């Protein structure tokens, strides 16, 4: 069976996880919704299930050099079977284990959004190559 992702398969038979691969995979992904709002995507890959969310570059939280994700969203993604978190911002991407968001991330109350966020510093995440 042919897939639009076939071009990303390496000699090992596994896909090379890149920003380009993740963006292409979003076309075959399921949206994660909470309270009627799309909050990200679940992507089934040979490398496991990914929770993918997109961020604008200006949303990077300089105080912790991190991206913030709602704790409720992370719990939902974990309950749906996500093993990894991918954050895409422009042509950059970061990969992390979903468990790290609960053990290594910094809890932060976001007043504007009235929610508890978790901020995993970029040094705790793997930067993905674009190609």
pLDDT greater than 60 at residue 11 = no
How many C-beta neighbours within 10 Å does residue 126 have?
13
Determine the Cα–Cα distance for residues 23 and 106; give it in Å rounded to an integer.
27
How many C-beta neighbours within 10 Å does residue 119 have?
20
Determine the Cα–Cα distance for residues 86 and 125; give it in Å rounded to an integer.
9
Q: Which two tokens stand for residue 89?
A: 């911002």
Determine the Cα–Cα distance for residues 32 and 128; give it in Å rounded to an integer.
22
Per DSSP, 14 falls in state: S
Lowest mean pLDDT among 8-12, 51-55, 72-76, 111-115: 8-12
Structure confidence at residue 10 as a pLDDT band (50, 70, 90): low
Determine the Cα–Cα distance for residues 113 and 109; give it in Å rounded to an integer.
9
Q: Which two tokens stand for residue 91?
A: 């042509």
**pLDDT above 70 as % of the chain:** 89
Does residue 40 contact residue 52 with C-beta atoms inside 8 Å? Answer: yes
Structure confidence at residue 2 as a pLDDT band (50, 70, 90): very low
**pLDDT above 90 as % of the chain:** 79
Does residue 17 contact residue 5 with C-beta atoms inside 8 Å? Answer: no
CATH level 2 (architecture), domain 6-128 = 3-Layer(aba) Sandwich (3.40)
Whole-angstrom distance between the N-terminal and C-terminal Cα of the chain? Answer: 24
Q: What is the pLDDT of residues 48-66, one digit of tens each?
A: 999 999 999 999 999 999 9
Q: What is the pLDDT of residues 14-60, one digit of tens each?
A: 667 999 999 999 998 999 999 999 999 999 988 899 999 999 999 99
At 34 the pLDDT is: 93
What number is the average pLDDT over the span 110-122? Answer: 92
């Amino acid at each position: 069976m042919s897939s639009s992702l076939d071009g990303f398969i390496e000699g090992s038979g596994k896909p090379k996880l890149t920003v380009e691969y993740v963006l292409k995979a979003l076309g075959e992904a399921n949206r994660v919704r909470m309270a009627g709002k799309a909050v990200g995507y679940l992507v089934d890959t040979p490398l496991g299930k990914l929770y993918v969310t997109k961020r604008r570059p200006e949303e990077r939280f300089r105080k912790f050099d991190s991206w913030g994700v709602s704790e409720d969203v992370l719990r939902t993604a974990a309950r749906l079977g996500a093993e990894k978190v991918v954050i895409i911002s422009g042509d950059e991407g970061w990969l992390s284990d979903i468990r790290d968001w609960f053990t290594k991330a910094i809890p932060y109350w976001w007043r504007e959004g009235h929610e508890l966020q978790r901020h995993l510093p970029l040094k705790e995440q793997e930067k993905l190559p674009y190609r």
